[in-house]
């Protein structure tokens, strides 16, 4: 995200401080003279993105929870509990509307002045979280003076169950990536940055500058597009948001070097051009859904399919870090342009949707419920 005239993602003007869970939806198909139950999971909608209208939101979150230590990602459980990561290494919980005083877990992440994009960065709950209680996180670590990133999984009730799912992602002062999301195919998608080494984005033998796809246990799916490689898509620079829509399509926010911030639809085996091209380019690479010519630093993104905020229904909603705005775009309208639909006046870092369809945003220091008073500001 770093570039001339652009805020660093993990910085504010006054200080340097430096998300999709999916489940299988079961359809019951009646056959003549016989009922056969078929389990369909390949392109169904992640339940995290479809509000459960038969459930009340038990989280009872306040409209704003303040004085947080740079939240980087948010994930709701079906019962309304909100898990979130803080950049400095704490995994925290809001339960029954109250921030729990003690972290669920704390990760030893590097605290280096000027290294503003490292830390505890990504979070996803298992598709079977109510049964298995598993949480996945993406974090930076220091090994013999070198920075790396890895994805680990653990039962949130005990860190002793921690298992490394994927390791060896190069770290850096900037361009670290870190978003996690379970897709409708039940696989884990991992967004990595190119670690300030643009050439890594083009190498399929490097995990950096990619979207990776793995099973829940960290294995490589047999139908990955590059054979026995975790790489799902390449040619990416630095992703700060990732979501699936109701059709099972994957969308990301990507930060350009000095301009050309992008909203991209990701398809398996595709090349998004970095560092050869940014924006629409020559047509040699995948064309972005939209390119911002002026830098906004787009971050968290969700597909909003609830009726709570009617003006946003059926749209991709994302935040920006530079001005703290919320944006919306209809992914099914040709040549659509994002519309600024609200402002929080603080850099947005992540978005999430509660079980009853309420929209929440994380800023540099708070978690805020997005209501009609904010939309339209």
Residue with tokens 């000027």: 114
Residue 101, domain member (yes or no)? yes
Residue 8, domain member (yes or no)? no
Phi then psi for residue 311, to 5 deg, are -70, -15
Structure tokens at 348: 């947005």
Question: Which pLDDT value is given to residue 377?
Answer: 62
pLDDT per residue over 30-50, tens digit each? 333 333 333 333 333 333 333
**In whole angstroms, what is the distance from residue 45 CA to residue 57 CA?**
20
Residue 20, domain member (yes or no)? no
pLDDT per residue over 312-332, tens digit each? 999 999 999 999 999 999 999
**In whole angstroms, what is the distance from residue 178 CA to residue 192 CA?**
6
Question: Which pLDDT value is given to residue 297?
Answer: 97
Residues in the chain predicted with pLDDT less than 70, given as ranges, are 1-60, 377
Tally of domains within the chain: 1
Domain of residue 164, CATH code: 2.120.10.30
The Cβ of residue 182 has, within 10 Å, a number of other Cβ atoms equal to: 24
Nearest to 6 by CA among 316, 292, 328, 272: 292
Question: Which pLDDT value is given to residue 24?
Answer: 33
Residue 14, domain member (yes or no)? no
Residue 7, domain member (yes or no)? no
Q: What is the pTM of this model?
A: 0.86
Question: Would you state the torsion angle of the CA atoms of residues 242, 246, 247, 252, taken in this order, to the nearest 10 degrees?
Answer: -10
Q: Which residues contact 303 (CB under 8 A, 6 or more apart)?
A: 49, 243, 244, 245, 246, 251, 315, 316, 317, 331
Burial string for 232-263 (b: 16+ CB within 10 Å, else e) reads bbbbbbbbbbbbbbeeebbbbbbbbbebbbbb
**Contact in structure between 88 and 141 (CB atoms under 8 Å):** no
Element housing 266 (H / E)? strand 261-266
Question: Which pLDDT value is given to residue 258?
Answer: 87
Residue 11, domain member (yes or no)? no
Question: Which pLDDT value is given to residue 60?
Answer: 61
Residue 354, domain member (yes or no)? yes
Q: Which structural domain range is residue 70 located in?
A: 27-370
């Amino acid at each position: 995200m770093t570039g001339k005239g652009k805020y660093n993602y993990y910085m504010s003007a006054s200080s340097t401080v430096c998300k999709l869970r999916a489940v299988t939806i079961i359809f019951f198909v009646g056959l003549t003279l016989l009922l056969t139950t078929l389990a369909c999971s390949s392109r169904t909608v992640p339940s995290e993105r479809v509000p459960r209208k038969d459930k009340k939101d038990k989280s009872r979150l306040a409209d704003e929870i303040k004085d947080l230590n740079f939240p980087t990602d948010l994930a709701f459980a079906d019962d309304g509990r909100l898990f979130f990561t803080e950049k400095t290494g704490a995994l925290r919980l809001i339960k029954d509307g109250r921030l729990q005083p003690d972290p669920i877990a704390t990760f030893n992440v590097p605290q280096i002045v000027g290294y503003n994009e490292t830390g505890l960065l990504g979070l996803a709950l298992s598709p079977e979280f109510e049964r298995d209680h598993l949480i996945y996180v993406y974090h930076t670590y220091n090994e013999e003076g070198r920075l790396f990133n890895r994805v680990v999984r653990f039962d949130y009730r005990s860190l002793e169950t921690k298992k490394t799912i994927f390791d060896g992602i190069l770290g850096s002062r900037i361009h670290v990536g870190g978003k996690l999301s379970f897709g409708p195919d039940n696989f884990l998608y991992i967004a990595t940055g190119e670690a300030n080494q643009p050439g890594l984005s083009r190498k399929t033998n490097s995990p950096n500058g990619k979207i990776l796809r793995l099973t829940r246990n960290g294995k490589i799916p047999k139908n990955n597009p590059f054979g026995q490689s975790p790489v799902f898509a390449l040619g990416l620079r630095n992703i700060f948001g990732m979501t699936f829509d109701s059709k099972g399509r994957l969308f990301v926010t990507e930060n350009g070097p000095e301009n050309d911030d992008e909203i991209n639809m990701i398809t398996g085996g595709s090349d998004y051009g970095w560092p050869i091209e940014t924006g629409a380019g020559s047509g040699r690479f995948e064309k972005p859904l939209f390119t911002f010519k002026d830098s906004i630093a787009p971050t968290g993104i969700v597909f909003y399919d609830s009726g709570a905020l009617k003006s946003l229904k059926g749209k991709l909603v994302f935040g920006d870090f530079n001005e703290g705005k919320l944006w919306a775009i209809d992914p099914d309208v040709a040549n659509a342009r994002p519309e600024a639909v609200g402002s929080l006046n603080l850099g947005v870092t992540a978005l999430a949707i509660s079980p009853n369809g309420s929209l929440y945003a994380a800023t540099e220091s708070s978690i805020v419920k997005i209501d009609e008073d904010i939309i339209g500001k």
